[in-house]
Amino acid sequence: MDNELLFIICQAGSQSFIYKTSLMDLSPDLSPRLGIATRLKPHYIVHGDDHGPRHFFLSGSELYAVSFLKDGMYVLNLDTRCEHLDPLARRPVSSVDPFIMVIQVGRATLALTETLQVYRKAHLVCPPRSSSWVRCMTDHSQIPDRKVKLSGYVVVSDNSFTVCDTLTCSCLHFNLDAKKWHVVMPWAPWGEYPPRDMSSYRFLNGRCVFVDGFIYTCSGKGLAAYELLYEDNCVYLDIPIYLPLSWESEMWRTERMCLDYAGKDVNSGAILFWVVQGLQMKYRDPQNKLWITAVEVEVEKTPRKSMKPVGIRHVVSATRLIDQQETMDQKEVISTRCCAVSF
């Protein structure tokens, strides 16, 4: 496994709690059998006063936090736990068109607004370690002129990403080099008609992962994989391949799940993922819990040289209590996001 360390980010009120665990920490022990879950203490807490969620993205060993509502950017080194605030990271957008996503695409840090305007983080010469958001002049001629409601997103290369609009159940693809948007079309083999109704597919949920030609996302009570194809300057998405998590099947809820890439098995080539879910407690129990599991997806090569998923199996899992003592008025985790870091 390449990314054996897992950092889990939970938002509670105006604070973001960052927890650290690893594959070794999830090794089977006696505590689950005794009904006792191990407690995770925050590795770091990002404080704020905007009472709103943040965008988090990873670059190397540094975790960046961007507020939905305010200027400025927190930068946290996960090795040293040193933090600094970049107050000059101002956005030239109004509150009616806020940032809805911030991601790392290759070496570029990009932000997206509701009207699909793309902004790139540019470094300033003075003062040192400061930055600003600069709007990219993009071609919107191939997509409708309207706002989107983002359900999920994924980086698919060093110069492109794909987002999913929940209002139309459609995906949109952006190429950073060409500065152009494309509507992702449903794929059909030569001589066959593409599916007419794509709205039955849930498409992308939250931050997704692109590996060997397929987009992986949380879906239903497991994962779903969509093959992404390029032909004649068009972008296509194939029908989903569902990979249900058969263990603890009643526990999984798509809206509370998050996914991250953990590496590959060097012998079989199987893909390893982290899957994390915040467990909603009854009667506003002050003990918040996380369900953390590692899964292995078996793959086989297709004629198009992509690696098609053909099965999934459980590797290890554990329930962990999470400590949020500094937010005594918040008894419920608002959202859970995860990212894995390789050292």
Q: What Å distances lie between residue 202 and 8, 68, 97, 163, 219, CA to CA?
A: 24, 25, 25, 13, 7
Kind of pairing, strands 73-77 and 150-157? unpaired
Q: pLDDT tens-digit profile of 236-284?
A: 999 899 999 887 667 778 878 889 999 998 888 899 999 988 765 554 5
Q: What is the mean pLDDT of residues 195-215?
A: 78
CA distance 116 to 168: 15
Q: What is the mean pLDDT of residues 71-75?
A: 80
pTM of full prediction above 0.85: yes
248 and 222 in contact (C-beta within 8 Å)?
A: no
Tell me what percent of the residues of the chain surpass a pLDDT of 90: 30
* Amino acid in position 13: G
Q: What is the pLDDT of residue 164?
A: 93
Q: What is the pLDDT of residue 180?
A: 94
pLDDT exceeds cutoff 80 at 291: yes
Set out the domains of the chain in order of their start, with CATH numbers. Answer: 5-342 (2.120.10)
Q: pLDDT tens-digit profile of 308-334?
A: 999 999 888 788 877 665 554 444 444
Q: What is the pLDDT of residue 97?
A: 77
pLDDT band for 195, please (50, 70, 90 cuts). low
Q: pLDDT tens-digit profile of 115-158?
A: 999 999 887 767 666 778 889 999 998 888 888 999 999 999 99
Which residues have C-beta within 8 Å of that of residue 152, sequence separation ≥ 6? 163, 164, 203, 204, 205, 206, 207, 208, 217
